[in-house]
Every structure is written in C-alpha cells, then in structure tokens.
C-alpha cells in the first residue's frame, strides 16, 4: 500500500508544460518587479511611456512569400511606436509610423479616454471615432475607467 501512495504522490507533483511555463514566467515577472523597486514603488506610477523600434517580418507578405517559420524571413517593416498609458487617469495613447512593403508610408495615432476613443491617420488625413461597444455583446468585457469596474 505504501508504494501505491508514493507513486500517486510523485505523479501528483509532476507539473504540466503549462504549469512549468507559468512558474518560469512568474519568476521573470517577480524579478522584474523587484528590479523596479518592488510592487509598492510600481503602484506609485502615474503613467508609463514606451518608445520602440525594430525590424518586423510579415510572413507571406513579401514579393516572394515564404512559408511560415523559415530560418531567415525577409524584413519587410521597420516600425517606430510610441505607447503612453495614463494609469491613474485611465487614458491611453499610441502612435505608429512605418513604411510598409511596397513603399506606402503609414502614420497612425490613437487615443482612448473614458468611454471615448478615436484614431487619426495622418497618411490618409482622416479621423475615425470608435463607437462604444454594446454591453450586450456576448463575451465582451469592457472596463469603465470612471467606475473602475468591468461590465
């Protein structure tokens, strides 16, 4: 009987791939929080601004489309992005600028504040106001920054 209990205990302690991945990601996250001064310091932040650029490959979008996961997919984009999150005010702002494959420039700016959102395309010179999503859509979860709650 002891061998069966010992075997059951060993099987119960084995972690799935998902559990292992979660624990590894959690360790990385905890180390990042610690490196930034701890959770108390992070909670004092009012806003976060990130500026990013890099090289991106859109598999299947080049002049000679390649199969996904090739060793060296062609670099078709070199985007520049700016992301601002007003944590305390519940607002967001993003901009992206790039020249997509074929030479077409793009430049978008998007803003979200409360229940209002819009996007501006400087390339096509238009503004798109995004309507508030209906709360009756199944599976839709919307965060209301004024009430600090999901509905």
At 35-56, the pLDDT tens digits run 999 989 988 889 999 999 988 7
So what's the pLDDT on residue 60? 66
Same domain for 20 and 70?
Answer: no
- How would you label 107-146 residue by residue, b for 16+ Cβ within 10 Å and e otherwise? ebbbbbeeeebeebeeeeeeeeeeeeeeeeeeeeeeeebe
Q: Extract the residue ranges of the chain whose pLDDT is less than 70.
A: 1-12, 58-70, 132-151
Same domain for 115 and 145?
Answer: yes
Domain housing 105 = 46-150
Q: 3-state class of 106 per DSSP?
A: strand
How far apart are the C-alpha atoms of 110 and 122, rounded to whole Å? 11
Cα angle 26-150-141, degrees, rounded to a multiple of 5: 80
Q: Per the structure, how many domains does the chain have?
A: 2
Same domain for 50 and 37?
Answer: no
Q: Are the CB atoms for 87 and 45 separated by under 8 Å?
A: yes
Q: What is the pTM of this model?
A: 0.60
Same domain for 39 and 72?
Answer: no
């Amino acid at each position: 009987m002891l061998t069966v209990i010992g075997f059951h205990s060993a099987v119960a302690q084995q972690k799935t791939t998902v559990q292992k991945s979660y624990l590894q990601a959690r360790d990385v996250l905890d180390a990042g929080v610690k490196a930034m001064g701890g959770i108390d310091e992070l909670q004092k932040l009012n806003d976060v601004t990130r500026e990013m650029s890099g090289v991106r490959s859109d598999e299947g979008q080049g002049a000679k489309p390649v199969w996904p996961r090739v060793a060296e997919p062609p670099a078709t984009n070199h985007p520049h992005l700016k992301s601002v999150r007003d944590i305390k005010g519940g607002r967001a702002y993003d901009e992206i600028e790039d020249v997509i494959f074929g030479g077409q420039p793009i430049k978008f700016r998007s803003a979200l504040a409360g229940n209002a959102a819009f996007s501006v395309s400087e390339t096509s010179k238009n503004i798109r106001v995004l309507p508030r999503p209906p709360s009756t859509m199944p599976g839709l979860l919307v965060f209301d920054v004024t009430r600090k709650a999901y509905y």
